[in-house]
Amino acid sequence: MIELKSINKYYQSEAQSFHALKHISLKVERGESVAIIGSSGSGKSTMMNIIGCLDLPSTGEYWLNGENVAGFNERQLADTRNHTIGFVFQNFHLLPRMNILENVVLPLAYQRIPTKQRKEQAVECLVRVGLQDKLNMYPNQLSGGQRQRVAVARALVAKPKLILADEPTGNLDSNTTEDIMQLFEQLHSEGHTLLIITHEKEIADRCARAIRLQDGELVEDRLNSTVIPKVIACA
């Protein structure tokens, strides 16, 4: 599903060059549940941007679902983000002037899917996350946990091959965090490939595999013995 081959990322300013990622190589198979963990400045956000096709590596190859993304232009990157990756962000990134249903429908607007089908898919995903009674409500009328469930529904609506979650529990209390992690675990058990970017060891331990970054380098890649990996091919 994902293969990084000797990925480097440099950021250049007038004063100096910063080496954010250093010779990163790894593979993630279809159906894996993986945490990318590290403290602030470790490079995990840079890696997320590259895996999510929000940025390109300076050198190296990034293969996603059989295609070398490192050579893509902006349009190809946008198409890949829209069709292959479902994003879940710490701050939800919901549009406040749209109701919940409209927020979830939005990714399908770029895929030329008929209006009726868009709504059906969005409702199906909102039912999937337990928000079928909130369709006409607005983000500011929901709790943090409910807003994150909307974000998960939006990530699922285009039927992506990869779910990429960036600190998805960072703004949630412990009870809501547990609810969201159970939802992610259920999605993984059904065959979704799941990558969670986190600084929390407790969240990383809930994934079948944990990759730790430090100062831009991959310093640990381990399987969690308490978690049974569920590698299931998605239809």
In this prediction the pTM is 0.85
Q: Output the pLDDT for position 226.
A: 55
Read off the pLDDT of residues 121-171 as tens digits, 9 standing for 90 and up: 999 999 989 999 999 999 999 999 999 999 999 999 988 889 999 988 888
Q: Confirm whether 67 is domain-assigned.
A: no
Least confident of 5-9, 34-38, 106-110, 224-228: 224-228
Q: Containing domain of residue 149, as a range?
A: 29-57+73-223
- The phi and psi torsions of 84 (rounded to 5 degrees) equal -110, -25
Upper half-sphere CA count for residue 69 (Cβ side, 13 Å): 28
Mean pLDDT for 26-51 is 92
Tokens 């490192």 correspond to 70
Q: Output the pLDDT for position 228.
A: 44
Q: Output the pLDDT for position 168.
A: 87
Q: Output the pLDDT for position 147.
A: 92
Q: Confirm whether 68 is domain-assigned.
A: no
- Look up the CATH number of the domain holding residue 171: 3.40.50.300
Nearest to 192 by CA among 128, 110, 106, 122: 128
Instruction: Please state the domain count of the chain.
Output: 1
Place 233 in a pLDDT band, splitting at 50, 70 and 90.
very low
Place 229 in a pLDDT band, splitting at 50, 70 and 90.
very low
Q: Output the pLDDT for position 137.
A: 96
Place 113 in a pLDDT band, splitting at 50, 70 and 90.
confident
Q: Confirm whether 232 is domain-assigned.
A: no
Question: Above 50 in pLDDT, residue 76?
Answer: yes
Place 89 in a pLDDT band, splitting at 50, 70 and 90.
confident
Q: Confirm whether 4 is domain-assigned.
A: no
Question: Above 90 in pLDDT, residue 91?
Answer: no
Q: Confirm whether 233 is domain-assigned.
A: no
Q: Confirm whether 175 is domain-assigned.
A: yes
| Rg, C-alpha atoms of the chain | 18
Nearest to 137 by CA among 161, 104, 101, 110: 101
Q: Confirm whether 207 is domain-assigned.
A: yes
Question: Above 80 in pLDDT, residue 225?
Answer: no
Q: Confirm whether 13 is domain-assigned.
A: no
